[in-house]
Amino acid sequence: MRSSAEVKCGFSPDLHLFQVDGCYLAFDVNSGSLHRLDEVAWHLLQQLACGGDWALARQEAVRHFPPDVVDEACRELRELQEGGQLLTKDQGWEDFAPGGELGLKALCLNIAHTCNLSCKYCFVPEQLRSGRDLMPPEVIRAALDFLIRETPYEFLTVDFFGGEPLLNLEGVKLAVDYALEQGKEKKWKFTLTTNTSLLDDEALAFCRRHNISLVLSCDGRPEVHNRYRVTGSGAGTSSLVERRLKRFFETGGCGEYFVRGTYTRSNLDFAEDVRYLARLGAGSISLEPVVAPACRPYALRYEDLDRLREEYFRLARLLREWEASGCRVSFYHFDFDLMGGPCVAKRLTGCGAGYQYLAVTPAGEIYPCHQFVGHPDYRLGDVREGITNPELRERFRRAHLYNKKPCRSCWARFLCGGGCHAQAALLEGDLYQPYPLSCELMRARLEAALYYMAQGLPGKGAEEAAAASR
Amino acid sequence: METRKHVQTVVAGSLRKPLQENGCGECQTSCQSACKTSCTVGNQACAVRQK
């Protein structure tokens, strides 16, 4: 159905060519431009990408297409090259890599380590979840004092995470009030990630009042959700979560939210879960690959990659079909703004974990991000003492694109930003080596995102999407 | 209005232009908004442009 032509020579780190359902696409890595090609232009670009010059590319192309048509396509491609939108070279942006000037700007407060669910794939270590830890008021205040003291920025973010943060709603309220009071001159954004089971009217009213962005966990179809998202006694939670979600939508939702699910190798057909969530009323959806060591039965495997790649493309087609019928659903990872988006420096730094973004435990310990919590080798400090392991912070600061060898030649580097530090460190064993399976998944998802964008061209989307899915 | 016959530009990228942008650091750190496990930077917004 589709084939990818990631060219292995010549321009390969700078140009990505792939085709899907007869749609030929060229992504110019260094300009961030995306072009849709006809067969002639595709043929020419393949030759050029393999190191051939224009004369050779033309010579090869005229064996298959009329010379005047080939010349016309050559002119168009050259125009784009001259305009800096095609066949561009890497600018060597090492100078934009982060130095000491980037400071702290966000905290993930694990406001409750305890959880009322026992999701089987949860990455939070069991000993933390099974405790009853709630972040006490003095730690909440010390954490926010630390953020306000350390940050050079105007825009600050606090995430409420866990465990289940709504088990400490009083702590969340205290944190919001304290942040707004102590950081009056700052612009605050709050987010709360919840398993949704405790999102009652009181919690929802509070979140709305303070414009808290919500990440609402639900994996989709009941049989999918109930397989892993269970109570301590093993009971599924789908019906409770769905009731909460329906109430959330019926009463107007909130300013910004995502219904976020996890997919595993038990539901490689996760586009059906997106469909299910959309039917529940979700307009903003994120489905994420499970994070798990390879030994877990639900962990994704290399042998799943082809199926997953197809599924992302299927999802792209479905979203365009729904859009054509008047129902727009936003899938987080497909909502790219190639014309705007982040600056080059941001694209090199990735997530900022370890120096721009830190996680805090109920005891006040600081870790590089929420996924490192409970791994003592990655303890950075304490909110009362500050950063006590500056060498570790420096290692994270240096973990940018140009210090990750596989990233330097990857076509997806400026869209991906270098991948997840936690997966590199905890699954691959080296902060500077991206986890290869995640890289493959990222490239598949990005190809699908680019395809999704191309299907948004006037007259290109709906009918092709419909034809492809027939 | 684009009139090319063989190449249709879906997105004219701007990645090469902002050489003066040395990273103000005001944008959201990218794992926060939805994913929590599988971040990307390409879909992040620029906080300065949004002001």
pLDDT in tens, A389-447: 999 999 999 999 889 999 999 999 999 989 999 999 998 899 999 999 999 999 999 99
Q: Where are the alpha helices (DSSP H) in A83-193?
A: 126-129, 137-150, 169-182
Q: Which residues of A touch B12 (CB under 8 A)?
A: 33, 85, 339
Higher pLDDT, A402 or A25: A25
CA distances from A148 to A103, A184, A240, A309, A356 (A): 11, 10, 38, 43, 13
Provide the residue count of chain B: 51
Tokens of A173: 């309220």
Mean pLDDT of A276-302: 94
Mean pLDDT of A368-377: 94
Contact B13 A28 (CB under 8 A): yes
CA distances from A370 to A357, A360, A384, B3, B28 (A): 10, 8, 19, 50, 16
- How far apart are alpha carbons A109 and A99 in whole angstroms? 26
What whole-number percentage of chain A has pLDDT above 90?
Answer: 79
Nearest-CA residue of chain B relative to A37?
A: B7
- How far apart are alpha carbons A264 and A261 in whole angstroms? 10
- How far apart are alpha carbons A136 and A113 in whole angstroms? 12
Chain A nearest CA to B51, separation (Å): 11
Q: Would you say residue A91 has pLDDT above 70?
A: yes
Strand boundaries in A83-232, DSSP class E = 106-112, 155-162, 187-194, 213-217
Backbone angles phi, psi at A458, to 5 degrees: -55, 130
pTM of the full structure: 0.92
Nearest-CA residue of chain A relative to B15?
A: A31
Amino acid A453: pLDDT: 94
Contact A351 B31 (CB under 8 A): yes
* A124 within 8 A of A163, measured Cβ to Cβ: yes
B36: left (phi over 0), alpha (psi -120 to 50) or beta: left
Hey, what amino acid is at A213?
Answer: S
Residues 6+ apart with CB under 8 A from A220: A261, A267, A270, A272, A273, A274, A276, A277, A287
**Among the ranges given (A121-125, A374-378, B29-33), the one the predictor scored with the smallest mean pLDDT:** B29-33
- How far apart are alpha carbons A295 and A420 in whole angstroms? 20
Q: How confident is the model at residue A127 (pLDDT cuts 50, 70, 90)?
A: confident
